[in-house]
Amino acid sequence: MFDKLDVFQNRYEELNRKLSDPSVLSDPAQYASLMKEHSSLTPLVEAYEKLRKAHAAAQEARELLYEGGLDRELHQMAEEELDTAKEECDRLTEEIKILLLPKDPNDEKNVIVEIRGGAGGEEAALFSSVLFRMYTMYAERMGWSVEILNVNETELGGYKEISFMITGSGAYSRLKFESGVHRVQRVPETEAQGRIHTSTATVAVLPEVDDVEIEINPKDLQIDTFRSSGAGGQHINKTSSAIRITHLPTGMVVECQDERSQYKNKDKAMKVLRSRLYEIEQRAQDSAVAEERRSQVGTGDRSERIRTYNYPQGRITDHRIGLTLYRLEDFLNGNLDEVIDALIAKSRAEQLQQAAENA
């Protein structure tokens, strides 16, 4: 392991030298690229330095014990120092194993989240609005910003479909496991007899994609304008500012009508289109990821779910990790970290196991 870590240490020192080079400082693009690499290596190099110190402390304690001639008190102190250093070595070794895992190149990106009502009609649409509120509150807790891209509301205030962008550092790394079918069990507002219903909504989390990552031929696009529907006052309903873009090769359709400006709506719609096409490309490159993605999103049927929200019991259950929490209201108010951290931990554990099998 030390030989491999020395490579990262040497690269880190090389980056330090380059970042103080006047020629690099005068080139903003190169400086930004090197700073990004420097930042990504910093946690690993710092952990490696701590590991070396812990190894040195353990070796020093061993030598004291090996030499002998210590009184009882000093012998006990040396044993305690050795035990502490060994525990620190084990902890840092595990930390470094995780830091060495291949990183998802999309982890630091902003995300586009799409929520659609599944099985359950109006109740599914109302649950979609609950999920949107939940993710909005989580974004606020994380210091991220939320921008609605497109929304299709129902008369009761639910969402047949809503898409929005969350902008903030590491948004995709925290939210990517939210893709899938979310199931709710509760008494609907529309239920007069108090019976518990089961409904679903699907969530898709897509990384925002830059223009250079996905090339779209303008000839492959059919762009239509139409009048926005829903709330918005006289202007939004009288002006054809809403945009519908059809990607002819795939038949994919994206709409955006949240802005009064036709140009802003087109820009937002293109962002969604690029992210969807990027996801298709990712699927094609990795059939294993594709199969997992399909199983996550599914069709919206009640039997397909990644998480259940049970209102009568105040319970949330994430079925992928078998985790159940009895704090539904707190969770729906945006306190998602306990579940998200558990999902990330499971993903890392699977990566570590796969790395060990391939070693």
Edge-first strand order for the sheet with 145-153 is: 145-153, 159-167, 111-117, 197-207, 180-186, 307-310, 315-318, 323-325
- Could you tell me if 221 and 84 lie in one domain? no
CA dist 3 → 117, 188, 199, 359 (Å): 52, 61, 54, 16
Show which of 61, 84, 99 is a domain's final residue: 99
Residue 47 burial (CB count, 10 A): 19
What distance in Å separates the CA atoms of residue 138 and residue 77, rounded to the nearest whole number? 47
- Could you tell me if 225 and 328 lie in one domain? yes
What distance in Å separates the CA atoms of residue 163 and residue 148, rounded to the nearest whole number? 6
Show which of 70, 99, 128 is a domain's final residue: 99
- Looking at residue 218, its pLDDT comes to 84
pLDDT > 80? residue 211:
no
pLDDT > 60? residue 238:
no
What distance in Å separates the CA atoms of residue 130 and residue 128, rounded to the nearest whole number? 5
- Domain harbouring 129, CATH code: 3.30.70.1660
- Tell me which of 233 and 279 has the higher pLDDT: 279
* Digit-coded pLDDT (tens) for 71-125: 888 888 889 999 999 999 999 998 898 888 878 888 888 999 999 999 888 999 9
- Could you tell me if 17 and 131 lie in one domain? no
The tokens for 329 are 């209201």
pLDDT classification of 229: cutoffs 50, 70, 90: low
- Could you tell me if 85 and 208 lie in one domain? no
Residue with tokens 């996550």: 296
- Looking at residue 163, its pLDDT comes to 92
- Could you tell me if 111 and 234 lie in one domain? yes
- Could you tell me if 49 and 138 lie in one domain? no
CB 112 within 8 A of CB 171: no
pLDDT classification of 127: cutoffs 50, 70, 90: very high
What distance in Å separates the CA atoms of residue 167 and residue 30, rounded to the nearest whole number? 24
- Could you tell me if 170 and 221 lie in one domain? yes
- Tell me which of 46 and 294 has the higher pLDDT: 46
Q: Read off φ and ψ for residue 219, nearest 5 degrees.
A: -70, -20
To the question of pTM greater than 0.85 for the whole model, the response is no
Residue 235 burial (CB count, 10 A): 10
The tokens for 211 are 């223009």
- Tell me which of 34 and 263 has the higher pLDDT: 34
pLDDT classification of 317: cutoffs 50, 70, 90: very high
CA dist 320 → 155, 235, 306, 314, 323 (Å): 34, 47, 6, 19, 8
- Tell me which of 196 and 298 has the higher pLDDT: 196
- Could you tell me if 91 and 145 lie in one domain? no
- Could you tell me if 233 and 105 lie in one domain? yes
Domain that holds residue 87: 2-99
CA dist 27 → 33, 38, 109 (Å): 10, 16, 24
Domain count across the chain = 2
Supply the mean pLDDT for the chain: 85
What sign for the dihedral angle of Cα 232, 126, 120, 156?
Answer: negative
What distance in Å separates the CA atoms of residue 139 and residue 12, rounded to the nearest whole number? 33
- Could you tell me if 139 and 94 lie in one domain? no
- Could you tell me if 174 and 210 lie in one domain? yes
What distance in Å separates the CA atoms of residue 159 and residue 132, rounded to the nearest whole number? 9
- Could you tell me if 237 and 267 lie in one domain? yes
- Mean pLDDT over 34-55 rounds to 92
Show which of 81, 99, 117 is a domain's final residue: 99
- Mean pLDDT over 254-283 rounds to 81
